[in-house]
A and B are shown apart, each in its own frame.
Chain A
Amino acid sequence: MNQKQHETQQPQVPKIGHGDVVISARRISLWYGPVIGINNISVDLCQGVIGLLGPNGAGKSTLMKCLTGQLTPKTGTVSILKKNIHTDASVFMQIGLVPEQDAFYEDMSALQFVTYLTRLQGFTAHDAEKLAKDALGEVALTDRQNDAIRSFSKGMRQRVKIAQALAHKPNVLFLDEPLTGTDPIGRRHIIDLVKKMGDENKTVIVSSHVLHEVEQMTSDIMLINRGRILADGNVYHIRNMIDDHPHSINLEVSEPRRFAALLAEYEDIVSIEFTSRGLQVATKKPDECYARIPALALDHNITLHAMSSPDNNLMAVFKYLVN
C-alpha cells in the first residue's frame, strides 16, 4: 500500500471549535472489565465552548477523565497544547476542571479551599490568595468566602468548584455537568461565565446530558453514546446531516385539516399528524417545504399562526442520531 492510498484510508478526525487545535485525542479506548467506557475515539478540540453531549452512561465522564488525565486509556493518546496529558504534569498549569462530584474539604472556608488548590498550582501563598479572591468574586461568592463550605447550598458549592478551576486562569477548562443543582440565577451566571471564557478564545469543554443547557452556551457540539462519537460540529451542520431524512415541522394554522390536505399533494411529505395545537409535518425536503408553507397558506387564505421545527432543538437531533 503506498503512502497516498494509506492516507486516503485514514478516517478523518473530527475537528470541533475554532482556531488552533488545543486538545488532541487519538484512538483512545477504555473499558471497565467487559464494559466499554469509550471506544476508539479520535477528536481534535479547538478554541471556544464545546458541548459534550450524551445520555447518562454514554461515556461522557469517562471521556472527560481521559482528556484530563484522571484515567489513562487502555489504548491511544491524549495531548493538550501538544503535551502528553499522562506524562507531562506541567500541562496542568493550563487546565482547570469542575468535577461532577460534589466533593470538598468541608471544614475549609471557600477562600481556604480555593487558595489551597491555587497554591498547588505553583503560586506563592500571597498570590494564591489574591487569585482565589478574584475567582470567588467572578462566581459572586465574595460575601461568603470566609464561610465553611459545609454551610453552602448546592448552587454555591457548584460555584466554589468553578472558582477553584478558574483561579489560576487556565486556557483549557473542563466542566462536568456544571449546572447540576443550580438555581436559575446561578445557572444564568455560570452560562454567562462559560460564554465569556469562550469569547476570550479559551477552550471550554462542557459535558451535559441536558441538551438545552448546552444549547444556551454553544452551538459546537459533540454527541456521544455507548462510548462512540455519534456526531460532531455545529448543531446546524448536524441538522444538515439529517436533512435527507424526514424533518419535522410543527404548524399552527387556522384550518389544520384543509391545510393538511393541501400539503399531502406534495411528494416530499412523508407524514402528517394532527396535534393539539395544529399539525406536525414530516418532509424529506425541509428547505423547499419551509418556503412552500407560507406561500400555500397565503394562496388558500389560511392563517399561519406559527411554524417551528423541533429538529432545530438539540434534543431532536440527539434522539434522531441515537435511534
Chain B
Amino acid sequence: MSASTQLQRNISSASILPALITAQLKMTLRAKKTIALFIVQLIPVIAALFYVILRDSDGLTLFGNIVEHISFPFLVPLVALFYGGPTIVDEMEGRTLTYLTLRPIPKAMIFMGKLIAGCIVGSALVAIPLLLLFVTCLVTSEDMGAALPSMLQMLGGATLGIICYTTVFATLGAIFTKSLISSIIYFVVFEMVLATLPVLELLSIRYYLRTIAEFNAGNRLGLLEQFILDKPIVLPVWSGILVILLVTITAALVGSFVFKEKQYVV
C-alpha cells in the first residue's frame, strides 16, 4: 500500500477551503501591488492629518467628505479592480490554473477560495487606512459620541463596498477572461456614468454604498435630475445593505458557475 493511501485524506470544503485561502492570502500579501495600493490608500489619511493640524475642522465632516468623494468613488473600486479581476485571470495568464483544476475539489471552491482571499486583503487595505483616518478625524470631532456611529456606518459601507466590487470584478474576469478591461468598462459605464443619472443611478453599486453611509442625497442631485425628480430617491439603510448583499451573492454564484462550466484553454 502506498504512503498516500495510508495517510488520511479529506477533500471536504472545511478542509480544503482554508488551505486555499491561506495560500492565496500569503501570495497576495507578498505581491508588489499590495504595497503600492496600501500607499495609495494612505494618501487621504496623510492629507487629512495635515488638514486637521493646520485648520480647525470638524472630524466627522472631514471623514464624511473623504469617504464620500474619494473612498467610495475611487479608492474602494481601485482596490477591488486589482484583487477581483485577477482572481482567475492571473492563474490563466500565469498558466498555473492547470495545477488547481487538477485537484479533487469542485471548481467553484477554487473560485470562492481565491475570491475570499481577495476580499480579505482588499478589505484590510481599505479598512486600515480608513481606521487611521477615523482616529485622526475622531479627535477633532466636535461631538465624539455623536460622530462615532456615523463613522462606523461609513466604515461598514466601505467594507461592504470592497467585497461587492471585488466579487463583481472577479465574476467579470471569469466571464471575459480579461481582468482589467472588463472591470474598467463596467466601472466607467455603471459607476461613473449611470451613477450620475437620475433613476439609472439605482443600477450602480455606489448608490447603495451611499445609502448605507447615509450621505446627504441632495449632494448628488444634479441639474439633469432636477428636471425629472423633485427630490432625489432616498432608500432606507437596510435596503442598501440588502441590495449590496444580494448583488454580492448573485455575482459570487454566477462567477462560480461560469468558472465551473467555462473551458479555459491554458
> Is A bound to B?
yes
Binding site for B on A (CB under 8 A): 32, 68-72, 89-93, 95, 97, 99, 101, 103-105, 107-108, 116-117, 119-125, 127, 131, 134, 164, 168-169
* 16 A-B pairs (CB sep. < 8 Å): A89-B11, A93-B9, A99-B95, A103-B96, A103-B266, A117-B103, A119-B23, A120-B19, A120-B100, A121-B4, A121-B9, A122-B11, A123-B8, A124-B8, A134-B3, A169-B2
Q: Top 5 A-B pairs ranked by shortest CB distance? A: A103-B95, A169-B4, A122-B9, A122-B11, A92-B104
A241 → B minimal CB distance (Å): 34
B92 → A minimal CB distance (Å): 10
List A contacts of B100 (CB < 8 A).
120
**Smallest CB gap from A89: residue in B:** B104
Tell whether, in the assembled complex, residue A122 and residue B104 are in contact, meaning their CB atoms are under 8 Å apart. yes
Please report the C-alpha to C-alpha distance between residue A125 and residue B4 in the assembled complex, in whole angstroms.
13
**Smallest CB gap from B4: residue in A:** A169
Tell whether, in the assembled complex, residue B96 and residue A91 are in contact, meaning their CB atoms are under 8 Å apart. no
B146 CB-CB contact with A under 8 Å? no
B149 CB-CB contact with A under 8 Å? no
Tell whether, in the assembled complex, residue A119 and residue B19 are in contact, meaning their CB atoms are under 8 Å apart. yes
Given A91-B104, A122-B15, A125-B19, A103 and B98 contact (CB-CB distance below 8 Å): yes
**Smallest CB gap from A90: residue in B:** B104
Tell whether, in the assembled complex, residue B2 and residue A93 are in contact, meaning their CB atoms are under 8 Å apart. no
Residue of B10, B100, B103 contacting most chain A CB atoms (<10 Å)? B103
Of the candidates A71, A90, A103, the one whose C-beta lies within 8 Å of that of B265 is A71
Please report the C-alpha to C-alpha distance between residue A121 and residue B11 in the assembled complex, in whole angstroms.
7
B97 → A minimal CB distance (Å): 9
B102 CB-CB contact with A under 8 Å? yes
Q: Is the interface of A mostly helix, strand, loop or mixed?
A: loop
Given A124-B8, A131-B3, A105 and B96 contact (CB-CB distance below 8 Å): yes
Please report the C-alpha to C-alpha distance between residue A89 and residue B104 in the assembled complex, in whole angstroms.
5
Of the candidates B11, B23, B263, the one whose C-beta lies within 8 Å of that of A72 is B263
List B contacts of A70 (CB < 8 A).
98, 101-102, 266
**Smallest CB gap from A72: residue in B:** B263
Please report the C-alpha to C-alpha distance between residue A101 and residue B103 in the assembled complex, in whole angstroms.
18
Tell whether, in the assembled complex, residue B95 and residue A93 are in contact, meaning their CB atoms are under 8 Å apart. no
B231 CB-CB contact with A under 8 Å? no
Tell whether, in the assembled complex, residue B104 and residue A121 are in contact, meaning their CB atoms are under 8 Å apart. yes
Of the candidates B4, B23, B266, the one whose C-beta lies within 8 Å of that of A116 is B23
Please report the C-alpha to C-alpha distance between residue A123 and residue B2 in the assembled complex, in whole angstroms.
14
**Smallest CB gap from A117: residue in B:** B99
Interface contacts beyond A99-B95, A101-B266: sample of 16 additional A-B pairs, CB < 8 Å, sorted by A: A69-B101, A71-B263, A72-B263, A89-B103, A89-B107, A92-B102, A99-B99, A103-B98, A105-B27, A120-B20, A122-B9, A122-B11, A122-B104, A127-B8, A164-B99, A169-B2
Please report the C-alpha to C-alpha distance between residue A108 and residue B22 in the assembled complex, in whole angstroms.
14
Please report the C-alpha to C-alpha distance between residue A229 and residue B4 in the assembled complex, in whole angstroms.
35
Please report the C-alpha to C-alpha distance between residue A32 and residue B15 in the assembled complex, in whole angstroms.
37
Tell whether, in the assembled complex, residue B9 and residue A123 are in contact, meaning their CB atoms are under 8 Å apart. yes
Please report the C-alpha to C-alpha distance between residue A124 and residue B8 in the assembled complex, in whole angstroms.
8
Please report the C-alpha to C-alpha distance between residue A193 and residue B27 in the assembled complex, in whole angstroms.
31
Please report the C-alpha to C-alpha distance between residue A68 and residue B101 in the assembled complex, in whole angstroms.
10
List A contacts of B266 (CB < 8 A).
70, 99, 101, 103
List A contacts of B102 (CB < 8 A).
68-70, 92, 95, 97
Please report the C-alpha to C-alpha distance between residue A68 and residue B95 in the assembled complex, in whole angstroms.
16
List A contacts of B94 (CB < 8 A).
103, 105
Interface residues of B in 235-266 (CB under 8 A from A): 263, 265-266
List B contacts of A124 (CB < 8 A).
8, 10
B224 → A minimal CB distance (Å): 45
